[in-house]
Amino acid sequence: MEFSFDRLDIGLAGVVVALLLLALRVQVGVALGIVAFVGISLITSVAAAWGILTALPYDFVAQWSLSAIPMFLLMGYLAANAGLTQGIFKSANILMGRVPGGLASATVVSSALFASASGSSVATAAAFAKIAVPEMLKARYNPGLATGSVAAAGTLGALIPPSVLMILFGIFTDTSIGALFIAGVIPGILSALAYILMITVRAKLNPAIAPLSTATYSAEEKREAFRDIWPLPVLILSVLAGIFAGVFTPTEAGAVGAALAAVIAAFRRSLTWPSVIKALVETAVGTCTIFIVAIGASMFAAFMSLSTLPSVLGSFLMNAVDGPIAVILMISVFIIILGMFIDAISILLLTIPIISPVLIGLDVNLIWFGIIMIKLLEIGLITPPVGLNVYVIKSSLGDLVDLNEIFKGVSWFILMDVLMLLVLIAFPILSLWLPEFMQ
């Protein structure tokens, strides 16, 4: 019993030290790897820890399913650099401009599409801070509403497939990535609709925050806008349709998407060597960053397993609270707090080794929880004091909008996210119906 207690002490100390290192801005993969190496050395021996360190990174990276990450990143970067995302905001604005708060609602729709293709909430926030916010401010929109809609809508890319966060969750929990992709469709659409409903109601009750647009467009301007928008929906729907129809696996879908993005760009004569080279460099940098974090997280997962912390935590929670819903609510509060200080991928890979054994012990459906987890990570991207998307927008806009104004505006979207989170927890069918139907 004493040996088991010592292991548990080491596991708890490891979690605390990992969080402290992250607070000190040590690179996530490095922090988790160091803590795991020291922890495994203390529990077993330095030789055993060294053996795991030399074998595990290769074994992890060699997983075939991980090839989806660079391919989906390449698809997104090709789409962005080859101009396949042009015209999204203008087209959405033409469709929704006469609705109360139409410019902000158009931002939600176009940002969600852009984020889904690019796979990057941060890139979406930066792009639409420059595209949409100036247009809304010119239309005398409330600065908080203008910036809040951009900050929040960019997070939807994590929930609407294809999603790198879903791929990582699927790999680390041994859950079907295809099922996660399918499960995210309805919650993603409902989240976007919740944002649009909130914007419309607020603009209707208080027109001063979003004056009704009086802009008119000629038939030629409308045709030109919709000629520009088709590549992105075609790209996303083709990838998802291929997965749903079983034509290719989610792992293969990334390569298909990247190839299709190149074909569409070539067809539009926007595929140039500089855009291809830039996309390849960005893909390599993004992939290496994610893989370093993932390797550190896999080491940390091995450490957690040896420490017995997940099993002890699971037993404690099962005895302390009544049922899996209470456990999920406790986990949700913990992850939202972490999201105030740490980025989404880091939170996912730090917490999954600890909480997934607990959830499996409670017989929680991991596809359902995966969607809840992604929603929690979305909330963290816009939650003060370190809402990453908020700071990206502030950086892009400079002194145009005050930081407090952005956080004030995004608070309405956080409220809608929390309400949607509670709905997803209360009604698992929203996440599970479509995967079951497709099967």
Mean pLDDT for 395-424 is 90
pLDDT at 306 over 80: yes
**Whole-angstrom distance, CA of residue 190 vs CA of residue 210:** 23
Q: Is the pLDDT of residue 253 over 80?
A: yes
pTM summary value: 0.83
- Mean pLDDT score across all residues of the chain: 84
Q: How far apart are CA 105 and CA 193, in angstroms?
A: 9
Burial of 438 (0-12, 13-18, 19+ CB in 10 A): middle
Which parts of 206-272 fold into alpha helices (H)? 219-229, 231-244, 250-267
204 torsion bin: left (phi>0), alpha (psi -120 to 50), beta (else): alpha
Percentage of the residues of the chain whose pLDDT score is greater than 70? 95
Going by pLDDT thresholds of 50, 70 and 90, the confidence category of residue 2 is very low
Helix (H) / strand (E) containing 17: helix 2-23
Residues 6+ apart with CB under 8 A from 317: 327, 330, 358, 362
Q: Where are the domains of the chain?
A: 65-438
pLDDT at residue 30 tops 70: yes
Is the pLDDT at 107 greater than 60, yes or no? yes
Closest to 156 measured CA to CA, from 125, 132, 130, 180: 125
pLDDT for position 243? 80
Q: How far apart are CA 239 and CA 68, in angstroms?
A: 12
The per-residue pLDDT for 1 is: 40
Confidence category of residue 3, pLDDT binned at 50, 70, 90:
very low
At 374-388, the pLDDT tens digits run 999 888 888 877 677
Q: Which residue has the tokens 């792992």?
A: 251
Cα–Cα dist 356/368, whole Å = 13
213 class by beta-carbon count within 10 Å (0-12 exposed, 13-18 middle, 19+ buried): middle
pLDDT above 70 for 211: yes
Q: What is the mean pLDDT of residues 117-127?
A: 71
* pLDDT value at 409 more than 60: yes
Provide the pLDDT for residue 400: 84
What percent of the residues of the chain are helix, what percent strand, and what percent coil, each to the nearest 5?
80, 0, 20
Q: Report the sign of the C-alpha dihedral through residues 262, 286, 115, 61, in that order.
A: positive
**Residue range 67-72: average pLDDT?**
84
> What local confidence, expressed as pLDDT, does residue 254 receive?
83
